Amino acid sequence: MKRILSFITVFALVLTACEGDPGPPGPPGFDGLDSDQFAAEAFEIVLDFTPQNNYEFIEPYGFPVAQSSVTLVYISWEVDNGQDIWRLLPQTVIFEDGNDLVYNFDFTQNDVRFFLEGSDLDGLDAVWTQAQVFRVVVLPTLNAGRLDVSNIDAVMEAYNITSFESR
């Protein structure tokens, strides 16, 4: 039994003492990478949707946006005990008369477009079209997939967003 233990000990020491040639170098890193490149940008905008603007509005970002960035838009949906409830777009409303309304958006590297879709936009009450408050967040795609983007508070916390520039 002593021989087996001695053999195992010597064998273990031999294996841990071996060192091979170093492997090839890894890919180069991001030398001098600006940390702002991975920072989120955010702003708040109040819009009126009318037949004159075809129930849409295009807002240029006013800051550089990486091609790989993603834009999220939230609408102030209601106020509960003095606190705004924000919902991620798109949001759909089905009215009792069967008509519908969709608050929606799309974006490019230069701007974000807010627009309404629905079966009777001209028949909407002003509460649905006037003074609609939106928050826009432009995120770098780095780690965005690990985040619950439907929760604006989680997005703000993850990207250290403390305020929204008013436009």
Cα 92 to Cα 54: distance, rounded to the nearest angstrom: 18
Sequence-distant (6+) residues with CB within 8 A of 148 are 154
Nearest to 135, CA basis, from 79, 70, 69, 74 = 74
CA–CA gap between residue 91 and residue 125 (Å, rounded): 17
pTM: 0.75
> Alpha-carbon distance 43 to 6, whole Å?
70
Q: What are the structural domains of the chain?
A: 39-166 (2.60.40)
Q: Which residue has the higher pLDDT, 55 or 5?
A: 55
Average the pLDDT over 49-61 and give the result.
97
Query: pLDDT tens-digit profile of 80-125?
Result: 999 999 999 999 999 999 999 999 999 999 999 999 999 999 999 9
pLDDT of residue 24: 76
What spatial distance separates the first Cα and last Cα of the chain, rounded to whole Å?
82
Helix or strand holding residue 88 (H, E):
strand 83-88
pLDDT band (50, 70, 90) for residue 26: low
